[in-house]
Every structure is written in C-alpha cells, then in structure tokens.
Amino acid sequence: MNQLYLLATLAGTRIAVETAEVEAVVKLTDITSVPRMGAHIAGLSALRSRVLTIIDAAALIRGNATPTADKRLAIIADISGHSYGLMVDAVHDICQLPDGELPLRGQLDKAWTPYVRGLVEHQGQPYLLVSLAGFIDNTALPQAA
C-alpha cells in the first residue's frame, strides 16, 4: 500500500489518520473559549488568517474537557469546507503501513465506536484508524459519561 498515515495519541490511545485528511499539525498558542458550548468545543483559534474551531476530541471520548495546560497540539483539517483543529496528546510519526487497514479485533470501548473504522499496525503495535471527519459528524451524539 502507498497510503501514508499520521500516527498520534488521543485520550491516551494510539490512533492513525490517513494523511489525505490532514492539512497540518500545529502547536496551539491561543484558544478563545466560546460560552455555552459543549465540553468538546475547546474554542476558536487563528491560523494563517483564518478561524479554526478547536475540537477537544478527548472530551468526546472521556466526557470531560481536557485541562487548559494540555491544549497544545492539534491536527488541522478542512471538513465540509470548514477549518478545524482536533486536539491530540502527541504526534509520533508519518509512515506507510504495508498491511494497510485491518479489521477490528477484540472489544472496543463503546466511547470509541462512533469514531473508529478499522485498525492499522506499526512496529507490532495496534493503532485505531479514525477519520477526522467522524469527530465532527458525530458531535451531535451524547458525550461519554
């Protein structure tokens, strides 16, 4: 396979994202909170003269907002014509994975079910294959408890 994947950690879990979905990875400097938004909306930020909606994807998984001090790194994506930054814990690598997408094996935490579409492996470690758009499209779902 010639597909490239971005390998990262989100809510303490290894994830992979197809690089075709990724515009950039940035360190966030300023996030302006938006009153009365759910815990999964960290706020708004600016990048290259445009406004980004910053999604606290871990809040969708864990059900509570990420502490302010940990809001540092985001994967930037254009989803349905809108710019988003999806916060992640860390970014590890961009690489080709010869086996590509694999079916899920074993049980998956119910909080991850709406976001995971498969599995990839890198150096013997499994990574949940997620679509960034899934974190936007599924924000109408109830948050984890």
- Can you tell me the mean pLDDT for 102-123? 88
What pTM does this model have? Answer: 0.85
Percent of the chain with pLDDT over 70: 90
pLDDT recorded at residue 140: 46
Which tens digits make up the pLDDT trace of 21-80? 999 999 988 888 888 887 788 889 888 888 999 999 888 888 877 776 666 899 999 998
Please provide the DSSP assignment of the chain as one string. ---EEEEEEETTEEEEEEGGG--EEEE----B--TT--TTEEEEEEETTEEEEEE-HHHHHHSSPPPGGG--EEEEEEETTEEEEEEESEEEEEEE-TT--B---S---TTTTTTEEEEEEETTEEEEEE-HHHHHHTTTSPPP-
What residue type is assigned to position 9 of the chain? T
* Domains of the chain as residue ranges with CATH: 4-137 (2.40.50.180)
**Averaged confidence pLDDT in the chain:** 86
